Structure 1
């Protein structure tokens, strides 16, 4: 029974997530088939680990990893959480929800990232920081070298990715779409229904109803998307049954 991550890297965009889901659907990438044991959580839940599981196949209703997390925030089609500093207090009993009343607000300064040539940490730009942690920049006591957890659910599959901000900004973690063997995959129509997304990607609809991925909804318009042959959809927010904290 597999406990291996499906991918090691950073899932940045909706396309990245779709490629991982497609790779798992085809059996090219492994899915979790059972809950992680405690020793596996300590060994496998690290920066760059991306896990995928099928809720029906595994019976997993609540993903747990043994860490303390902030409440979730929406980031496009994803939910993001930040690891909390247990020493500063993470709520009654230090549970994994990581919620606590009356936490001191932190300064809104940048998270540590590696400078391009200095070899030491420098503040990240506010815009770049928000692409990695959303609105989780203050209010909670985050662990200084802690992980970010990024999740998405699609057609019964659930993905949980972990990363450290510095690992992303320094280029240590590659995205799925930067791998030739993954970017060449055609994403199944089953994954492209607009009802799956808060921010549906741009898709091309064939005469037989087949859907083909064409781009991110917030990407610059291309000649193809201007031509009318592709369409972006607006749908209500997702409401999944699985708890990620």
Structure 2
């Protein structure tokens, strides 16, 4: 029986994703793309039809398509997205409330909509429940470090859908052919461990990305630097967790951190 996280090529009428999991790093992208080039995984041949979107555009689904063969000039999924934020070699988008402008790249339009919604009428507070506001960039340091990895710095004053999807995309050129990756996830699914990364997937154990992919000159961050960045992020998480625990102990002891007495 094949692993349910991998979707093998075959005749089918319903569009299926290339993989199901979480794309954390460029290494994950290279691993999946290498499997596609080897024929063990499949590029998707087209965009999802509108009737397929509720079933295909879901947390954990990863789609890889080749630009020329598929003829896809722009991936569309029918969801309202925030403006993109660059995170290394990825673009990050967050799902917004349905009432916002469809063109998420128009930052001014989104901000104008938010202002108009909260200020129009004799009782501004009556319109406020329509949108759930999030912190301004000045509050960035107070965000959890895990949120920085999942959302990047995409924390402007936009109205994000509670528990909404995040879209993470990237493009890799292999010998002049562009391969696009589009992945979806929710923060809760990643934090809970329900979504496996390709590099952490046991079925891919011992498989290394192709050298031609690793040496791709179009990468914004070389693979070695990205691995170092992830290691540094892990250390920052540990320091952050320790500081939170110390602050909790100080609150419990009235502002004084308890120290064990010498034996």
Q: Common fold, TM-score beyond 0.5?
A: yes
1:90 aligns with 2:117: no
Structure with higher Rg: it is 2
- Structure 2 CA distance for partners of 1:39 and 1:96, relative to 1, 3 Å: farther
| 1:216, distance to aligned residue in structure 2 (A) | 2.0
CA RMSD in angstroms comes to 2.4
Match of 1:106 in 2: 133
Match of 1:152 in 2: 170
Q: Aligned equivalents of 1:220 and 1:130: distance in 2?
A: 14
Match of 1:36 in 2: 48
Contact 2:134/2:158, CA 8 A, preserved across alignment? no
Greater per-residue helix proportion: 2
- Structure 2 CA distance for partners of 1:184 and 1:106, relative to 1, 3 Å: same
1:19 aligns with 2:37: no
- SS at 2:133's partner residue? coil
Contact 2:134/2:159, CA 8 A, preserved across alignment? no
Deviates more, 1:48-57 or 1:175-184: 175-184
- Gap regions ≥5 residues in structure 1: 110-123, 204-214, 222-245
Matches within 5 A, 1:44-83: 44-83=56-95
Contact 1:22/1:185, CA 8 A, preserved across alignment? no
- Structure 2 CA distance for partners of 1:194 and 1:45, relative to 1, 3 Å: same
- SS at 1:39's partner residue? coil
| 1:125, distance to aligned residue in structure 2 (A) | 5.3
Matches within 5 A, 1:150-189: 150-155=168-173, 156-189=178-211
Normalising to structure 2: TM-score of the pair? 0.67
Provide the aligned length of Structure 1 versus Structure 2: 192
| 1:76, distance to aligned residue in structure 2 (A) | 1.3
- Structure 2 CA distance for partners of 1:31 and 1:98, relative to 1, 3 Å: farther
| 1:217, distance to aligned residue in structure 2 (A) | 4.5
Q: Residues 20-55 of structure 1: CA distance to partner in whole angstroms, max 9, x if unpaired?
A: 111111111121112211111121000000000000
| 1:219, distance to aligned residue in structure 2 (A) | 4.8
Q: Aligned equivalents of 1:146 and 1:176: distance in 2?
A: 23
- SS at 1:216's partner residue? helix
Normalising to structure 1: TM-score of the pair? 0.71
Contact 2:27/2:209, CA 8 A, preserved across alignment? no
Greater per-residue strand proportion: 1
Q: Aligned equivalents of 2:216 and 2:171: distance in 1?
A: 13
Q: Aligned equivalents of 2:219 and 2:68: distance in 1?
A: 20
